[in-house]
Amino acid sequence: MSTVSPDELTTERLAGLEPGPVLGRELDPEVGDGTLVSDPAVRPPLVLGRRDFRSITETICSWTENAPGRWWTLAFLTSSTVAGVGTLMILYLIVTGVGVWGLNNPVGWGWAIVNFVWWVGIGHAGTLISAILCIFKQKWRTSINRFAEAMTIFAVICAGMFPGIHVGRIWFAWFLFPIPNSNAIWPNFRSPLLWDVFAVGTYFTVSLLFWYMGMIPDLATLRDRAVRRLRAATGGGRFELAIGKVRALAYGLLSLGWRFSSRHWQNYEKAYILLAGIATPLVLSVHSVVSFDFATAIIPGWHTTIFPPYFVAGAIFSGFAMVLTLLVPARELYPGMKDFVTMRTLENMCKIITVTGSMVGFAYITEFFIAWYSASSYEQQAFIIRAMGPYWWAYGTMFLCNVISPQVFWLKWARTTPWFIFIVSIVVNIGMWFERFVIVTTLSSDFLPGSWGYYSPTFVDVLTFVGSLGIFMTLFLLFMRFLPMLAISEVKNVIPQADPHGPTDHAADERQGD
């Protein structure tokens, strides 16, 4: 995880160690912006453009301090309109009842649960990037973790909405919680749906805490800049002054008086790594619990033991795709962002998509194989109907988008071409939506052929889902506008100047604890 730029590193590489012949080969030409190096002895730089502490602060803060481009206003108006339509649909559902959805007798769970699982899954990439990659010390993550965590929070908000409104009589939703009541009844703790309440609730809370805690120092940076601007303000309209005061007050309150003390940093870093440590099994548990919703039932095609890890892999897969869907355009729209979110970041994310996509493919194949191997005719039939029954088109889309499409990233060109990455990321998201659709519509043909049916959504289903996309985008645009989009202090910590040990005096205090 070097923070040294290639040239410095190559020259001082392995001081004292033999560099070794290259067997007549030239160094691989550096592609693109200097971050895609295939020489194993060279660590590409994490931050480009010879940036120092000040320029990092300037660039990242300027995105929230200056008025956004016209694209932002346009995007905000569009997405908030869509969100409004979604909200209307939800109101319509609440005043009418779940009958406005396309649910029918064999298929008691429809788009709502598909959307729920899809959104929760998307959220998982944020935690993976912020927690798991943090534990594995993948420093390239510092430029995308804030972004991905914000995505997590908003995705989980969208996810939580669906089971909430699915209960029908939403005013009884408090039944989900173990609240002492006059009937002396308690929730059924043996129900996977109740585990969902706790799992998703915990996930949302811990993600929010993690996100917020990571942001405290950066909010303090924005606070100090706002204060300095206020102090320096000469003239300017009364309106601007008021806005400035509100900014200083808001960032001041949110940053909790953080003053960059190293004694504080010590506890902060420890707390951060501990949060990462508990968020890692948490993210696994959440999607495992979501998979239990299906797998504890004895419905053929649902009751299969590989569901927990398979759901987790799929979640990370779709979440990475969603991060890329948001990141690739943002990289173009915000000046200077390419210095932080380098080609290597994109390339690494593409590789993770291929890995998790292949895991999902592995699970599809295992499922199919074991369904046959089980010699249970119901299991076998469930899978045959999935692939060749009335929903064959959904199964085909799923397989094509989730297993085949990510394999394009074996090609270097594919994973270093942003517009292409963007397209594949959308394809993957579509595929993962269909995966959940395939799983849910397994309900349409269970044990008794006499009770088979076919499910199709109504316009309310469709518009509620589209509305959730609008809610997500609205929240995300607000985040991009008002909060530090990149983790300023973390990015600063991966540039070479942050190393308190110069290349020369490193040996002096090394290896003492040994």
Partner 1 sequence: MAHAPANAAALLSPANTTLARDAGRLPAIGLVVLGVAALAIAVAGAILGDDTAKKVALASYHAGFLFTLGLSLGSMILVMILHQVNAGWSATVRRQLENVMSLMPLCLAFFVPVAVFAPLIFHWMDPHHTAGDVIYDAKSAYLNTPFFYVRAAAYFAAWLILSRMLDRHSVRQDADGDRFRTAKARRMSSYGLLIMALTAAFAGFDWMMSLDYHWFSTMFGVYFFAGFIGAATSLCALLLILLRNAGVMEGLVTREHLHDLGKLMFGFTVFWAYIGFSQYFLIWYGNIPEETMWFQTRRTDLWMPYSVALAFGRFIVPFLILMPRPWRRSPLVLGVMAVWILGFHALDTYWVVRPTVETAGAEVAPTWLDIVAMAGPILIFFGVLAMRIASRPLVPLKDPRLGEAMVHKNYV
Partner 2 sequence: MATAAATAGAGRAWGVLAQFDSPAEVYHAAEKVRDAGYRKWDVYAPIPIHGIDEAMGLRPSKMGWIVGTCAALGASGGFLLQWWTSAVAYPMIVHGKPYGAWEPFTPITFELGVLIAGFGAVFGMLAVNGLPRWHHPLFSKERFLRASDDGFFIAVDARDPKFDESATARLLQEAGASAVETVEDE
Name the minimum Å distance from CB 291 to partner 2: 11
> 23, 179, 185, 232: which one contacts partner 1 (CB under 8 A)?
23
| Residues of span 344-403 touching partner 1 by CB under 8 A | 358-359, 362-363, 366-367, 370, 372-376
Q: From the list partner 2, partner 1, none, pick the one residue 4 interacts with, judged by a Cβ distance below 5 to 8 Å according to partner type.
A: partner 1
Both tokens of 26, joined, read: 């030239």
Contact range with partner 1 by CB under 8 A, out of 19-27, 77-85, 144-152, 224-232? 19-27
C-alpha dist (Å) from residue 110 to 54, 103, 164, 373, 388 = 52, 6, 14, 30, 20
Contact range with partner 2 by CB under 8 A, out of 33-41, 102-110, 282-290, 366-374? 282-290
| Residues of span 229-268 touching partner 2 by CB under 8 A | 231, 256-268
> 241, 298, 384, 388: which one contacts partner 1 (CB under 8 A)?
298
Give the phi and the psi of residue 302 in degrees, each rounded to 5: -105, -40
| Residues of span 39-58 touching partner 1 by CB under 8 A | 39-41, 43
Q: Which residues of 282-299 are buried (b: 16+ CB within 10 A; e: fewer)?
A: bbbbbbbbbbbbbbeeeb
CA 91, 92, 94, 99 torsion-angle sign: negative
Residues 6+ apart with CB under 8 A from 485: 60, 63, 64, 146, 147, 150, 330, 334, 479
* x-marked contacts with partner 1 along 101-140 as a string, rule CB under 8 A: ----------------------------------xx----
- Give the span between the Cα atoms of 137 and 131, in whole angstroms: 10
| Residues of span 187-226 touching partner 2 by CB under 8 A | 187-191, 194-195, 198-199, 201-202, 205-206, 209-210, 212-213, 217, 220-221, 223-225
Give the phi and the psi of residue 31 in degrees, each rounded to 5: -95, 150
- Give the span between the Cα atoms of 194 and 464, in whole angstroms: 24
- The count of residues interacting with partner 1 (CB under 8 A) is 66
Q: Kindly report each contact of residues 78-81 with a partner whose C-beta sits within 8 Å and lies 24 or more positions away, as own/partner.
A: 78/470, 79/469, 79/470, 79/473, 79/474, 79/477, 80/470, 80/474, 81/470
Nearest to 155 by CA among 473, 481, 487, 482: 473
Asked if 117 touches partner 2 (CB under 8 A), the answer is no
- The count of residues interacting with partner 2 (CB under 8 A) is 71
Name the minimum Å distance from CB 256 to partner 2: 4
| Residues of span 484-503 touching partner 2 by CB under 8 A | 488-489, 492-493, 497-502
Query: Which element (helix H / strand E) includes 265?
Result: helix 262-295
Residues 6+ apart with CB under 8 A from 131: 210, 275, 276, 277, 279, 280, 283
Q: Which residues of 18-54 are buried (b: 16+ CB within 10 A; e: fewer)?
A: eeeeeeeeeeeeeeebbbbbebeebbbbbbbeebeee
Contact range with partner 2 by CB under 8 A, out of 281-289, 371-379, 404-412, 449-457? 281-289
Asked if 499 touches partner 1 (CB under 8 A), the answer is yes
Contact range with partner 1 by CB under 8 A, out of 115-123, 317-325, 459-467, 500-508? 500-508
Asked if 206 touches partner 1 (CB under 8 A), the answer is no
Asked if 12 touches partner 1 (CB under 8 A), the answer is yes
Q: From the list partner 2, partner 1, none, pick the one residue 507 interacts with, judged by a Cβ distance below 5 to 8 Å according to partner type.
A: partner 1
The position carrying tokens 């239990």 is 292
> 23, 184, 375, 448: which one contacts partner 2 (CB under 8 A)?
184
Asked if 21 touches partner 1 (CB under 8 A), the answer is yes
Residues 6+ apart with CB under 8 A from 300: 376, 378, 379, 381, 382, 442, 446, 447
Q: Which amino acid is located at 492 in the chain?
A: K
Name the minimum Å distance from CB 296 to partner 2: 9
Asked if 49 touches partner 2 (CB under 8 A), the answer is no
Q: From the list partner 1, partner 2, none, pick the one residue 245 interacts with, judged by a Cβ distance below 5 to 8 Å according to partner type.
A: none
Asked if 228 touches partner 2 (CB under 8 A), the answer is yes
| Residues of span 406-435 touching partner 1 by CB under 8 A | 410
Q: Which amino acid is located at 177 in the chain?
A: F
Asked if 193 touches partner 1 (CB under 8 A), the answer is no
Asked if 296 touches partner 1 (CB under 8 A), the answer is yes
- Give the span between the Cα atoms of 178 and 187, in whole angstroms: 6
Concatenating the DSSP letter of every residue in 487-506 gives -HHHHHTTSGGG-SS-SSTT
Asked if 285 touches partner 2 (CB under 8 A), the answer is yes
Residue numbers at the binding site for partner 1 (CB under 8 A): 1-4, 9, 12-23, 25, 38-41, 43, 135-136, 269-270, 272-273, 281, 284, 288, 292, 295-298, 303-309, 358-359, 362-363, 366-367, 370, 372-376, 410, 499, 501, 503, 506-507, 510-511, 513-514
